[in-house]
A and B are shown apart, each in its own frame.
Chain A
Amino acid sequence: MTRMKVNDVLGSLGLGILAILVVVAIFAPQIAPYDPHHTYKRMERPSSEHLLGTNDIGNDILSEVIYGTRVSLFIAFMVSITAITIGTSLGLIAGYSGGVAEFMIMRIVDIFLTIPRLVLIIVIAAFMPRSIWNLIAVFIIFGWVMTARIVRSEVLTLRNQYYVESARMLGGSNLYILWRHILPNVIPLVVVQFIMEAGHVIVAEAGLSFLGLGDPVARSWGTTFHYAFECPTLYTSDVWMWWMLPPGLCIVATVLGFTFVGYALEERLNPKLKTVVGMEI
């Protein structure tokens, strides 16, 4: 199989996974058998009534995981959309205007890039009230950086294209040129960044929630993980099989989905990668 075909297969696979997850997230109330906050008998083993059993306070685990899809995906998409929009705007400004604005933006980018992201996110999240919105805010603060850098470098080459100079001579304003001639040509890069960022956020959010920094009310997969770990009999019995494994697999599947789609898109949209022959994934 050629590299291109491998990518197409992986891309469709990723798209399939993401589509299923989005459907589950949207229709969680219809799909989930129970209300995830309702308490039943505690620590039930899987049965026809509770397919994945119940947890230490008696919530149905399957429903919790299904509703968790909502929380995890919501955080991922909210962060990606906002962070990528901010990153793209700043990248456009830095690349196009040059001068002081570019200097300032790029120095801030440099500072952010030298800071170990996850460690700082954990520190900040630890000091903030535990809520979904605070998590989103913390991820956005660190999420825009790479996009700004990538967009800016692309704008630097686009800015010197003859058609951009032509547009200026034809009487186009800077805003017009950015909107009409530069933005459409950076969109492919931005889309790939969006997908990749969403994948990152899924992992980071799961990590934070696992550490107990997530929202205790809106439980994501990571939060389920967290409470599972607090259970003293987790390792001495087979409870982990229905309490830890399902949310863990969901996290892995989501990240794989985003990654596959991201790589496939990058290959499609970046002509420089198309000619690479040899190495198959």
Chain B
Amino acid sequence: MLEVEGLTKQFSSGIMKKRNVSAVDCVSFHIKKGKTLGLVGESGCGKTTIGRLILRLVEPTSGKVVFDGIDLLSLKRSELRKIRPRMQMIFQDPDSSLNPRLKIGTSIAEPLRLHGTVPKDERAQKIMELVETVGLNPEHVNRYPYQLSGGQNQRVVLARILALNPDLIIADEPTSSLDVSVQAQILNLMRDLQKKFNHTYLFISHDLEVVKIMSDQIAVMYLGKLVEVGETTDVYNNAKHPYTQALLSSRRILLKGETPGPADIPTGCRFHPRCPQKQDKCAIEEPEPVEVEKGHYVACHLV
């Protein structure tokens, strides 16, 4: 359904002396239809940028994104607008995902109005259907976003997306600004919707527990690069990369130092300054991804 190959984004700053900051560096993965890939990593590692690159909300520097057989990066703006309804993104903050001056019902109706798929006189009924699907009450339609809770607003966002009947949904930390109890409700709702509509999810999060519940596959990201990709069970039970091991360890293997900024990425393996199992080679040579078992790739000199 979605294939990403060598996706790279460099931001440059400065006029006289160009300085390149590589936010995402040669990232490759693929997601099958109806499945979920969980993208994990600490904040600032480039997870969100990947989501935006795929949708071309930010233009990639290089790489390839193939969605349902269509090469997205070669599309013109007008062609892209036609295909965009099939790929949608859910953002971290539900409250600012809705225009504060529009009623909930108007927000949900927006995609219907833009695409005219549903005739005018059936719109009200369609909105009611959507509202019910995401577990809201009909009276919420006439309220404003500030009158609803974060969890309810995230349901509204889901309803608005469902109106388009998309194939791919990129969820960027959809629950991280919600209370724990509400988080579970939203996650369950997302899973139910996936079963019902056969959505493909790219689920971006820093919360390993959440990703474990939601994902079929997991990709672990560090400083703009994927360090480990594989089936959820394989990665959780048989983590090969020292970074993944540190993230997953119940005893919390403490990593030395802080994550370097994307402006000064270490030479060789970018994890080596903090790696507990560092070797001489790691500081010089960058490791290529190696398939350790079927569908389980690790970029580390130790494997």
What is the interface of chain A, defined by CB distance below 8 A to chain B? 161-163, 165-173, 176, 180-181, 184-185
Contacts and interface: CB of A to CB of B under 8 A. Distances in A.
A184 B101 contact: yes
Contact of B99 (A168, A173, A176, A181): A181
A162 B164 contact: no
A203 B88 CA distance: 53
Contacts, number: 55
5 contacts: A165-B91, A169-B55, A169-B87, A169-B89, A171-B85
Contacts of A167: 99, 110
Contacts of B114: 170-172, 176
Interface of B: 55, 57, 81-82, 84-85, 87-89, 91-93, 96-101, 110-111, 114-115, 157, 160, 164
B160 A166 contact: yes
Nearest to A168: B57
Contacts of A172: 110, 114
A165 B99 contact: no
A278 to B, nearest CB: 27
A172 B107 CA distance: 13
B84 A171 contact: yes
Given A162-B91, A165-B89, A185-B101, A170 B57 contact: no
B123 to A, nearest CB: 15
Nearest to A170: B111
Contacts of B115: 171
B250 to A, nearest CB: 35
Q: Which 6 A-B pairs have the closest CB atoms?
A: A162-B97, A162-B91, A170-B111, A163-B99, A162-B96, A171-B114
Given A169-B88, A170-B88, A181-B99, 5 more contacts: A162-B93, A162-B96, A170-B84, A170-B114, A171-B114
A173 B81 contact: yes
Contacts of B89: 165-166, 169
Contacts of B100: 185
Contacts of A163: 96-99
A176 B81 CA distance: 13
